[in-house]
Structure 1
């Protein structure tokens, strides 16, 4: 997007952030998360996060999807504890180099900027895990998606899990059942799976993530995946050839790549899902097929469920009370 659009985003930011639903307190096994957690200790916390995220998205439209992905990839490994932000130390290896994250997750500098601003405003108060949750919500809203009140009060982990990152995050080539199993392990159900997959209405994927769908087994032209519409596959082959271009980027939703809407589901009905993990929502399970059709027909229903599922995902095994810590630098545990 151009800078003029970016300035409009910033000007309109206060009007955009009117929640469409109130959720109150969300209980976890370790304590309460609630939207008003910082009302006394850091009253401007959410405003600061919104301002930095808006500026970042105005400069780089891809950043909205990137910040949303950071929260997702964090919560699926050890819970929503900001472990994804940690750099490697002598005690553990960073999750940033895992197969799902390497050359994929981005936005760390934006989180750094938010944390720096919050440390100046209210030192050692707002957790990196809460910053990730707020940034994901704010990115969604800026892209035109739903708003929700984010339950807050998470604390930050003192370690990372490279193994967990490699095995727990759904992969583009996983079967439907494998993806659903990974969601269920975190207390998420099939409704959450389909609704949260709708986040692919914004963002990009690399050629290497879907190339196997474009060519048959001996590498010749002719799709190996007949759940992809053939003219769509032919278009993709121009920039995703057989033997090079692994890092070439493609819109996950070519219809409205920077707008958060239900066109992702409309694309699936036309067999124009980019990733195998997208298209299987229509082709491998009757219940998920019904949900895809429902969200394709109603943007409002999609938005309502997406907000609910994001709150549910954000409550995966949070550290609360005296567990974990409030990092001063999101990349490092406190010394």
Structure 2
């Protein structure tokens, strides 16, 4: 629907019978993590740096809550109210969009300011321009381990789509249960 790539999703996956918010911390990447932490969390699950950058491309659609980046656009440091990795004009727009975040913590902005409703490679094209909303997004273009993939996917949408599809297929198999462990759900968002 959004114009992204096709990839195979295997049916019959067995999902766990326990779901607790307390198990999330340390198991999912956070926007505030350093690049070493992000690479480490993906590597601990068997994903390469390239696969991590490809999966980050999912940020070409969707939203981020202002609370995830507010400290980077207000009072960032003693010398600058805004994180200098942001495009200044973009950061000012984010400040305006998030101005009421104290009263409305659900305020959100698009992850991809240029083509928010299209699954495309504009996300990668935005990053060198300082147009990544999350710190972890902007860090991708600043780190020498990840920048080559940002540049590749920014200039070659087909390469991004292929890499994203392969990484999503791999992700869908991660931690898959077998035998009597778990259940094949009738609805993916609830236990049977």
Normalising by structure 1, we get a TM-score of: 0.53
Match of 1:227 in 2: 85
Shift of 1:323: 2.3
Contact 1:240 1:246 in 2 (8 A): no
Match of 2:139 in 1: 280
Partner of residue 129 from structure 2, selected from 250, 257, 270: 270
Q: What is aligned with 1:192?
A: 51
CA contact (8 A) 1:153 1:320 kept: no
Instruction: Report the CA distance between 1:291 and its aligned residue.
Output: 0.6
Distance 1:263 1:185 in 2: 29
Question: How large is the RMSD of aligned CA atoms in angstroms?
Answer: 2.2
Q: How big is each residue's C-alpha offset from its partner over 1:8-41, in whole Å with a ceiling of 9 and x where there is no partner?
A: xxxxxxxxxxxxxxxxxxxxxxxxxxxxxxxxxx
Q: For residue 154 of structure 1, report the CA deviation from its aligned partner.
A: 1.2
Residue aligned with 1:257, SS: coil
Quote how far apart the aligned CAs of 1:330 are: 5.3
Higher helix share: 1
SS in 1 for 2:97: coil
Cα deviations by residue, 1:157-208 (Å, 9 ceiling, x for unpaired): 1212433212211111111111111111211111111000000000011110
Query: Is the alpha carbon distance of 1:236 and 1:328 closer, same or farther for their aligned partners in structure 2, counting shifts above 3 Å?
Result: closer
Counterpart Cα distance in 2 of 1:143 and 1:165: 28
Aligned match for 1:238, one of 86, 91, 96: 96
1:322/1:208 Cα in 2 relative to 1: closer, same or farther (>3 Å)?
same
Task: Work out whether residues 101 and 107 of structure 2, in 8 Å CA contact, stay in contact via their aligned partners in 1.
Answer: no
Please state whether the residue corresponding to 1:254 is helix, strand or coil: coil
Query: 1-side partners of 2:191 and 2:32: how far apart?
Result: 34
1:291 to 145, 149, 155: 149
Alignment partner of 2:161 out of 303, 310, 321: 303
Q: Deviations over 1:70-101 (max 9, x none)?
A: xxxxxxxxxxxxxxxxxxxxxxxxxxxxxxxx
Once the two structures are TM-superposed, the CA of residue 281 in structure 1 deviates from its matched residue by 0.4
Distance 1:261 1:168, change over 3 A: same
Change (3 A) 1:327 1:243: closer
The higher-RCO structure (CA 8 Å, 6+ apart) is 2
Q: Which residue of 1 aligns with 2:11?
A: 152
Cα distance change, pair 208–302 in 1 and its aligned pair in 2 (3 A): same
For normalisation by structure 2, the TM-score amounts to 0.90
Larger Rg: 1 or 2?
A: 1
- Mapped contact 1:204–1:251 kept (Cα < 8 A): yes
Match of 2:174 among 297, 316, 321: 316
Q: Distance in 2 between matches of 1:184 and 1:300?
A: 25
Cα pair distance change 1:151/1:211, threshold 3 Å:
same
Report the alpha carbon displacement of residue 309 of structure 1 after superposing the two structures with TM.
Answer: 0.4
What pairs with 1:91-102 in structure 2 (closer than 5 Å)? none
Residue 247 (str. 1) matches residue 106 (str. 2): yes
Unaligned runs of 5+ in 2: none
* Number of residue-to-residue matches in the alignment: 191
